[in-house]
Structure 1
Amino acid sequence: MNTQNDEPRDLETGMEAPRQQRSSWPTFLFITFVLFMLTNGRGEDASVTRDQYVNGLQSLSFQLSNFSAWLNGTASNFSLPVEDPNTSPLVNAFLEFGSELDPNQGSYYTNLTGFWHGDLDFHNLTSLNSSEAASNWRHLSEQFLLTTNLSAIPDLLGPWNFTRSNKVTLSVGDKLIAVKQNDTEHERIAMIHGKIDLSEPDDSEELRLDFEGIHVLSTGTIYAMAESAGSGIDLRSLPAIVPEKFRNDSARAVEIELAARLSKLRERVEGGAFDQESLDTDDSPKTKCSFKLFAQLERTGVPKELMDELEKEIDEPTGITTVKTPELALDAVLLSQNCGMLLEMKHVVGVQSQRLYRKITTYSGFATLVHLVLLALFRRQAAHSSSAIGLSRVSRYTFLIQSLIDAISFIGHITLGILAEGRPSLSVLAPAGLACLLFVYEAQMAVLIGQIQAPEDAPAPRPSPPPPAPVAAPAQAQATVNSAVTDDGSAPAVPTQTTQPVPAPPLAPPTVPMRPSFWQFLWTHIRTDPAARLWTLLSISLIVVFRIVIALSLPLFFVGTLYTFMWMMQIYRSARRSRSSGLSAEYLVGTTLGRLFFVCYFLGCPKNILDVEPRRWIYGVGLFMFFQVLVILLQERLGPAFFLPKGLSRTQTYDYHPPMPLPDPEAPDQSLGDCAICMDAILVDPTLRRRSKSSDGKERPVIARATGILGKVGSAKKTYSLAPCHHLFHTACLERWLEIKNICPQCRRPLPPL
């Protein structure tokens, strides 16, 4: 029997045997399905988007023309709204507005573009608690709510719970406006815009508000209006909330800003560069409350001249030495008259965009080095475990979990690069690319391990049923006479019996096999092909990561779970199979440190680039990971099941060297038979002979069991190995065979470890 026809290589020559190429269309199908789930869109009509842009262009042009006419004192449909006089006293009770500073004694930051975060205190002006009722601003709140319709507040509040909001995050863009006055230009006003995110302590949901405002540079004060995302803010109303001293400059700045936005929108319409996401609005906003934002920057002790030099160096680094960068912070009040609430922000700390981008570049350098180390460790371990024996020791789920972690890392770095823009986005592409490469390698490793370990749990083939008995042909003779002949040769008086011809059974019409549907074929392929099952599991996991985890803002719990069970599956497999993992200490410790670098930075460092609040439980995850590494290393020294009770740690392993009877001593060929791999005789080692008594009391020579010193060289191996399917091999031949496949070369049944 030729056993080498469908094996990957010949054991004698070591040459690769030709393999039948497997169809790649199932893999292409899975990839197409995943890409469809990740990239399907709503498919809006481009003409609708263009109409929306054109309508917005006409509306903005109408607003600008009316506002410019109002500023010039000509006929206009616009009139500046009147601010409630009770607003300013109430705000002053919580916030102390700044004044112009002596330029030699102190200064304010002028560029506020960046990201801010701080704490939030909620005050319900319609229902004051005992301490608020005794405060000096109680009567101010009562006067402020005189024009408020209290019965409409529940409908305006919406589903968002403002009482539980305790964190605030701001994304700010600050644009300096040069206002011309008396034929001279001066820069005292900046247009500020951005987003305000309110969050709850135990909820991943956020309330997002868009704001537009005025930044007075000389006093470090901000006056802005905020609405729910997509509601729209009329910039022309901003001068109404600015003090009279800065109202004219603010109105001119608003006019310049409206003209700039109109020009930019016109270029988009003419160039056809439409952004559908910018037009999408939330059909059901979480709140309908309107807010006014009043903020005051904290003054710095840096003189104005040195502060200007510092901010110029931050925007355009030249390497010069400047003063130590002071903290960028502000206090603010978010006030809503129609909803009767006040949100107080204390010491909101900000990071300017340029400083954040340089911080991102530094992080990208360290992340690239860590990914390179992880890639090098993986390649060394993959080369060490490249044989079938090595792949049968490791757990596929260990590499599958790591591939999911790298997929999350890839998506996270790509998203960070998109948000960062400019040069920092290019630096983030390096760790993103390495994370993608690691994901591909580890996924391929998991698939390969699954293919090698698939025969372990495969059921034994059932014996084929016996073939049906053939149908006898119909008798062609008319009758046969069965009679007994008497002594005189006469026929008996009993009438003869004739056998009637048996009609042949009708032939069944040929059945045409029904062609399975696509889904039936796909399901059958997934059930029967281990690689297809693993790719399906990986695809579903990626869809969960991209579509559910990120969409619901639950990546922290998901990532923590992946890290917790990364080495657990390897411990379980080693204990179950009673075999060590084969993972080197270098790979275990290095990979654990590399993986923990990212989660400890984002969940342990209070000043990380994503401004994620530290979670103390991440240190417990790190300690548990190192505990798992310690257990795997001890499994190499003390045994795979050293931590289990004796009753559970006893694993039945197959003995390839059972005692076997010796051949006849007088036979010319003293062998146990021929090896099923090399076809040579398996000669008997005379040093392993011993005598044993059979049931009839006679002594018969058998091959004795060889033993060795445990812990040093292991048990001495015999020259023969008997498989569970009763096929006999040379031990050396079977070892070389099992390095390629773990199935019997004759009957193709799975073989246990040798």
Structure 2
Amino acid sequence: MPQPQDNARLVFLIILLFWVATNPDTGPGFVAAPSLTKARLVRQRHAHGILNSTHWGDFSPQVANETTGVAAGYLNLTGFRQEDGFVWQEDFGRLRNRCEEWSQHAVGLPTAPAPVWQNVTGIVRGPWVRKDASVPRYHSNYNLTEMTPGIDWVTWGGDWGRNVTGPEGKMMLRIEDDGDDDMETEALGSTGLPPTHIRAREVSATVTIDDDAGSGNSFEMRLHGVHWPRQGALLLTTTSEKFAGIFGLPHLTTRQEFFESSQALLNRTLDKVLSRKEKRSFSDPVNPWASSLDAPGETWNPSPHCEYIAYVQVYPPENDVLRVQPALAGPEGVAKAIEEIENELRFPQGAPQQGRPKLRMSAMVFSPDCAFLLETKGPPDYPQADGDHLAGWKQEFWLHSVSTWLLGFALIIFIQVQLLKLQMRETSTPSTLGRISFHTGSIMLLADGVILAGSAAWSLSATTTMLPSLVVTCAAFLSMTVGVTFLAEIYKVQEPEWRRRDRERERERQAASTTNNTPRPASTPTPPTAAPGAASTPGPNTILSTAARRAIPRPPSPPIIIPSDQDIDAEIEEVTNNPTAILPAPATAGNNTTPAAANSSITLSNIFGRFIMAGITLLFLTLAAVTWRPHFRSIYFNLLVFSYLSLWAPQIYRNIYRNCRHALSWRFVIGQSCLRLLPISYFYLVKDNFAFAQPDWTAFAVLAGWVWIQIWALVFQSVLGPRFGVPKGWMPEAWEYHPILREDNVESGGLPIGLVLAASGSESPTFERRDSNAGSGGGGDKKNTRVHVIDCAICRETLEVPIIKAGTGDPTAGGVAGVFERRKYMVTPCRHVFHSVCLEGWMRFRLQCPICREELPPL
């Protein structure tokens, strides 16, 4: 009968909930959507007409000059009107002057600017500081109904989104600059400059602002604008229903030549976009200049948020990258060197490069409605130690870094697979598989599954890094396949142990419940005294003689009933593991299961189903943690990595529980530890990592130290014993293969066979008696021990066994020296002694005594 697929129903429910959450019903409906789209296109076409008909100086919202009688000028665009209430009049002029100062500090005078990067596609990140505007503004200062008639705003009465309130934080710009082939060149007749000196092209950027000390949120928005490559200047702005930023962008420039080139460019490009949208208004309702990354949500359910205008200035590249002296080559030579580097980055030909081409920019982000200014920290206002504005890489080098890391990560996973295959070859028997912790393998398998899911999702959306991500996906899939096979073999060997443990717990629970329900008698009778000749039950670590073992009464063997499926071996194993079982009652139609079977261990398919659910939950939780506050995000990732690197802690517990000294090869333990630490160290130690993660040497030292402590714990267990220093009552009793041998145990049968004769005084040619301190000048403690030499039955070589003399203490039992002495020999429950190396090699394949073939407890 197939088992119920509870995990399948749970997976289907989670997928259904995820689909509902990611596909909200935010649309206006099938009938209303075209009309709303056309209304927005009408407003945008009107704004485009105003852009085409205005001139330089029409938008001059500065304070009117009473002497000359010049009045402030505004535009009939949403957000550019005087009645809208933005802080143009108070701070726009000061903002323009500030931008010109920063541009001159970066590239020099406008007439002869220093050569800069012509294509600024890349990622930069850096700190910023907040400065208030001259006049504060709040959401209550604006009337959205009059500003944008016909627009139904969501939560218009509450606080606006993207409102940065903290004094400082981090900013990241991902700039997408179209290639030089599509640049638009505009001649300027009024300035007299050559046409090649003034060029403009469209550019867009995704800006992420981390408000660490304020709201703690991370604001991400989309900005569109214009890039002037020769001057290295960028002007970007948001666009929404209450701010026609892209249509008024030329009037926000600082120079007339910038105004004329950007106006000519935008008139042409915006007209093409509007014409295409008007033809497909029914099938393509998305606003092409939406500032929110969730464009459909902002289109149908707009919510008020702060608008932004970004002035960005590109800095010249470093001389070590160009390998050109500006004083010797001049501006033309520097510009040619920059062009050669950019061509090599975009179209690699194998030309040698020196250094890493980095991007450096300064930015000022101004919010005209929320009335604040964000400036990047750096010279000349701040020392370079406090901040160096925005620094990062060009896209080509950033993608190269990502691809290199992915290929290195794939190589690491392949090496992990090879180590796992070697470990599987060494632990191919049930005896060796029973030593390995199932939870240690589960941690590795869960991590490989998350890597597989993440790399597969990355491959679906990647373009340049698709091949490296596919290599990682293949390596993770191979690692996960081998890991599943290994974990399944461990499960098959350890499942009877789990079932036996569950049955014992069930019997203890039933016994406890029976004891609690049974009324106590008035007086407790005295237990009967055992007969003088009766044999008492020995302890688990007592070595009995042959006569004493035969005198112990054994419980009657229950009969073996052959089941209907003829599985005799399974029935024998069941009866052997549960000797106190009662004969089963005849099966009936209504009751064919027992409580032990109902409470048995879960199947392997259910375990893997739980792994899948845990991996999916962990993946989504990690994606959600990216948007948390930096402090909580750092704590989460540190705890996640700490849990991941705790993979040897379950193996340490397994060694203690089974009294096993050595389960995994040192090659596997050390190799896996180093390989799993290596990719993590890139983000914790490398300053210029592609994820822009802040280096944290302290946290990485703690993580590496934790792995180091686990490895040394395994070393101590292998050398000193798995239960060295562990109180006896903490773990169940287990056979001690390295007992302390004393001559006092001769009468009770406590010495191994063969050592009894030597200890009792009868000489035999097979055994040799000598004092351990003879000939070597040993210390006085060694006078209490005797070393007996016998033959190992496996290798047929001599074996020296130290025995404590009768009537003396144990000077080395609790010390490290005594522990090392006892590690040389192993004593079985059947009182046979062997070399430790010989018996361990034998028990890798058989858990039987090499001499008498009795069953041996596993290591």
TM over 0.5: yes
- Report the residue type matching 1:305 in the other structure: K
Deviations 1:668-727 (Å, cap 9, x if unpaired)?
xxxxxxxxxxxxxxxxx99799899xxxxxxxxxxxx99974657633658899xxxxxx
Gaps of 5+ in 1: 1-21, 126-140, 471-509, 659-684, 693-704, 722-730, 740-744
What is the match of residue 432 of structure 1?
473
Structure 2 matches for 1:616-695, cutoff 5 A?
Answer: 616=697, 617-642=699-724, 644-645=725-726, 652-654=733-735
Task: Select which of 92, 97, 106 maps to 1:92.
Answer: 97
- Report the residue type matching 1:288 in the other structure: H
What is the match of residue 676 of structure 2?
595
- Report the residue type matching 1:29 in the other structure: A
Task: Select which of 189, 210, 215 maps to 1:199.
Answer: 210
Task: Select which of 304, 310, 329 maps to 1:293.
Answer: 310
Distance 1:233 1:162 in 2: 24
Task: Select which of 616, 634, 637 maps to 1:543.
Answer: 616
Q: CA deviation at 1:62?
A: 3.9
Distance 1:619 1:657 in 2: 37
Distance 2:601 2:591 in 1: 20
What is the match of residue 701 of structure 1?
none
**Alignment of 1:715 onto 2:694:** no
Structure 2 matches for 1:159-198, cutoff 5 A?
Answer: 162-163=165-166, 165-175=168-178, 177-179=183-185, 188-198=199-209
Deviations 1:495-518 (Å, cap 9, x if unpaired)?
xxxxxxxxxxxxxxx9985999xx
For residue 162 of structure 1, give the secondary structure of its aligned residue in structure 2: coil
Task: Select which of 353, 363, 369 maps to 1:332.
Answer: 363
Distance 1:322 1:224 in 2: 32
Q: CA deviation at 1:377?
A: 0.3
Distance 1:512 1:686 in 2: 55
Task: Select which of 98, 102, 118 maps to 1:110.
Answer: 118
Q: CA deviation at 1:381?
A: 0.7
Q: CA deviation at 1:593?
A: 1.1
Q: CA deviation at 1:621?
A: 0.4
Q: 1:268 to 1:638 in 2, by over 3 A?
A: farther
Over the aligned positions, Cα root-mean-square deviation in angstroms equals 5.1
Q: 1:174 to 1:26 in 2, by over 3 A?
A: same
Q: 1:426 to 1:462 in 2, by over 3 A?
A: same
What is the match of residue 279 of structure 1?
296
Q: Is the 8 A contact 2:118 2:229 kept in 1?
A: yes
Q: 1:327 to 1:281 in 2, by over 3 A?
A: same
Structure of greater relative contact order (alpha carbons < 8 Å, 6+ residues apart): 1
Q: Is the 8 A contact 1:156 1:289 kept in 2?
A: no
What is the TM-score of this pair, normalised by structure 2?
0.60
Deviations 1:647-688 (Å, cap 9, x if unpaired)?
569873248999xxxxxxxxxxxxxxxxxxxxxxxxxx9979
Task: Select which of 648, 665, 683 maps to 1:567.
Answer: 648
What is the match of residue 454 of structure 1?
495
Q: Is the 8 A contact 2:204 2:225 kept in 1?
A: yes
- Report the residue type matching 1:97 in the other structure: S
Q: Is the 8 A contact 2:429 2:845 kept in 1?
A: no
Q: Is the 8 A contact 1:368 1:430 kept in 2?
A: yes
For residue 565 of structure 1, give the secondary structure of its aligned residue in structure 2: coil
Q: 1:535 to 1:220 in 2, by over 3 A?
A: same
What is the match of residue 59 of structure 2?
none
Q: 1:387 to 1:624 in 2, by over 3 A?
A: same
Structure 2 matches for 1:263-274, cutoff 5 A?
Answer: none
- Report the residue type matching 2:475 in the other structure: L
- Report the residue type matching 2:439 in the other structure: Y
What is the match of residue 137 of structure 1?
none
Deviations 1:582-626 (Å, cap 9, x if unpaired)?
211111111111101111012221112222222230222012212
Distance 2:721 2:731 in 1: 11
What is the match of residue 406 of structure 1?
448
- Report the residue type matching 1:296 in the other structure: Q
Q: 1:543 to 1:363 in 2, by over 3 A?
A: closer
Structure 2 matches for 1:311-350, cutoff 5 A?
Answer: 311-321=342-352, 327-346=358-377, 347-350=389-392
What is the match of residue 531 of structure 1?
604
Distance 1:368 1:619 in 2: 25
Higher mean C-alpha deviation, range 607-616 or range 594-603 = 607-616
Distance 1:308 1:84 in 2: 41
Distance 2:401 2:696 in 1: 21
Distance 2:703 2:733 in 1: 34
Q: Is the 8 A contact 2:431 2:845 kept in 1?
A: no
Task: Select which of 214, 219, 243 maps to 2:226.
Answer: 214
Q: 1:325 to 1:197 in 2, by over 3 A?
A: same
What is the match of residue 120 of structure 1?
128
Q: CA deviation at 1:33?
A: 4.6
**Alignment of 1:364 onto 2:401:** no
Distance 2:117 2:312 in 1: 13
Q: 1:645 to 1:403 in 2, by over 3 A?
A: closer
What is the match of residue 131 of structure 1?
none
Q: CA deviation at 1:412?
A: 3.8
- Report the residue type matching 1:212 in the other structure: H
Q: 1:61 to 1:249 in 2, by over 3 A?
A: farther
Distance 2:423 2:17 in 1: 32
For residue 335 of structure 1, give the secondary structure of its aligned residue in structure 2: strand
Deviations 1:443-466 (Å, cap 9, x if unpaired)?
443343234223332425485668
Percent of residue pairs identical: 18
What is the match of residue 753 of structure 1?
858
Name the count of aligned residue pairs. Answer: 609
For residue 332 of structure 1, give the secondary structure of its aligned residue in structure 2: strand
What is the match of residue 138 of structure 1?
none
Q: CA deviation at 1:578?
A: 1.1
Q: CA deviation at 1:308?
A: 1.9
What is the TM-score of this pair, normalised by structure 1?
0.67
Q: CA deviation at 1:293?
A: 1.3
Q: Is the 8 A contact 2:417 2:482 kept in 1?
A: no
Q: 1:371 to 1:655 in 2, by over 3 A?
A: closer
Q: Is the 8 A contact 1:394 1:581 kept in 2?
A: no
For residue 207 of structure 1, give the secondary structure of its aligned residue in structure 2: strand
What is the match of residue 15 of structure 2?
36
Distance 2:356 2:844 in 1: 68
Q: 1:266 to 1:46 in 2, by over 3 A?
A: farther
Distance 2:94 2:348 in 1: 43
Distance 1:103 1:714 in 2: 90
Distance 2:205 2:598 in 1: 52
Q: 1:404 to 1:465 in 2, by over 3 A?
A: closer
Deviations 1:216-235 (Å, cap 9, x if unpaired)?
2232222222379x998642
Deviations 1:521-547 (Å, cap 9, x if unpaired)?
9xx989642425532441342132122
Distance 1:613 1:641 in 2: 42
Q: Is the 8 A contact 1:213 1:238 kept in 2?
A: yes
For residue 503 of structure 2, give the secondary structure of its aligned residue in structure 1: coil
Deviations 1:240-288 (Å, cap 9, x if unpaired)?
2113332222122223332454577689889999999652449999972
What is the match of residue 679 of structure 1?
none
Q: CA deviation at 1:117?
A: 0.5
**Alignment of 1:240 onto 2:322:** no
**Alignment of 1:388 onto 2:424:** no
For residue 487 of structure 2, give the secondary structure of its aligned residue in structure 1: helix
Q: 1:340 to 1:190 in 2, by over 3 A?
A: same
Higher mean C-alpha deviation, range 245-254 or range 406-415 = 406-415
Gaps of 5+ in 2: 55-74, 82-87, 143-156, 288-292, 318-325, 378-388, 505-577, 627-632, 740-751, 760-791, 794-798, 802-820, 833-839
Distance 1:570 1:538 in 2: 19
**Alignment of 1:309 onto 2:288:** no
Distance 1:444 1:30 in 2: 25
Q: Is the 8 A contact 2:128 2:170 kept in 1?
A: yes
Distance 2:354 2:642 in 1: 45
For residue 163 of structure 1, give the secondary structure of its aligned residue in structure 2: coil
